[in-house]
């Protein structure tokens, strides 16, 4: 019986199969990159606000502590958005006629809250507690980035699960003494700049982190990487 298909058909079939595998792999890689991109995560995106509040000016310029505005961050799951009265504690005395601050004055007079746009937004199915992280020695800028250098606030990290797990799998790499949690210029210890904790000097983060894990009773990696820790 004569051959129906040309011998090159086998080669073409193999090339088609392998080509399809490579195309699927490339499309999967592209989908993963898009999922991690600012287009999806909004990392680095400055969102419009009713008033262009500058953390750089208030934190670096004026030296205002995070807790002055975010009053509940140490005791609540939510960091807290300051009421207009907090703004007016200062702006009833300074910049009283600035057009830029007219929405703040109008809010104070009417009693209607300013409608701030949430910058760091987690999905509803994720449970996150600010107070737990603060009290375990996680600094503000560990998650929020160099807030004191942001004229307009933006989300520093992706806030995706892989980013959260990277810290939960090795918390000792990110912890600092509680007294330094709100220090935006905190630097991890080195031989040139050791950190003293409970009378003992630490010149590297590995040793300091291990000591803080024990001191602050950080749960085991197995416990803090289980699904129910964040998805309740």
**Positive/negative CA dihedral, 148, 149, 152, 155:** negative
- DSSP letter (8 states) at residue 62: T
**Each residue's pLDDT tens digit, 123-170:** 999 999 999 999 999 999 999 999 999 999 999 999 999 999 999 999
pLDDT, residue 16, reads: 83
User: Rounded to two decimals, what is the model's pTM?
Assistant: 0.85
Tokens of 170: 């090795």
**pLDDT average, residue stretch 61-84:** 94
Q: pLDDT at position 156, please?
A: 96
């Amino acid at each position: 019986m004569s051959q129906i298909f040309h011998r090159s058909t086998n080669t073409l079939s193999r090339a088609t199969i392998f080509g399809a595998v490579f195309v699927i792999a490339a499309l999967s890689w592209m989908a993963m990159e898009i999922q991690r991109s600012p287009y999806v995560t909004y990392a680095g995106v400055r969102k419009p606000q009713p008033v262009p509040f500058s953390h750089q000016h208030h934190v670096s310029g004026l030296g205002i502590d995070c807790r002055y505005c975010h009053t509940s961050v140490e005791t609540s799951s939510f960091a807290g958005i300051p009421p207009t009265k907090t703004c007016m504690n200062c702006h009833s005395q300074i910049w009283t006629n600035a057009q830029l601050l007219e929405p703040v004055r109008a809010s104070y007079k009417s009693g209607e809250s300013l409608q701030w746009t949430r910058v760091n937004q987690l999905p509803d199915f994720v449970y996150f507690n600010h107070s737990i992280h603060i009290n375990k020695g996680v600094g503000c800028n560990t998650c929020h980035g160099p807030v004191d250098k942001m004229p307009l606030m933006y989300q520093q990290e992706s806030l995706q699960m892989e980013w959260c797990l990277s810290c939960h799998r090795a918390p000792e790499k990110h912890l600092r003494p509680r007294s330094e949690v709100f220090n935006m210029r905190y630097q991890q210890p080195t031989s040139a700049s050791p950190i003293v904790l409970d009378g003992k000097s630490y010149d590297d983060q590995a040793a300091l982190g291990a000591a803080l894990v024990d001191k602050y009773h950080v749960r085991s990696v197995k416990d803090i990487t289980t699904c129910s820790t964040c998805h309740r």
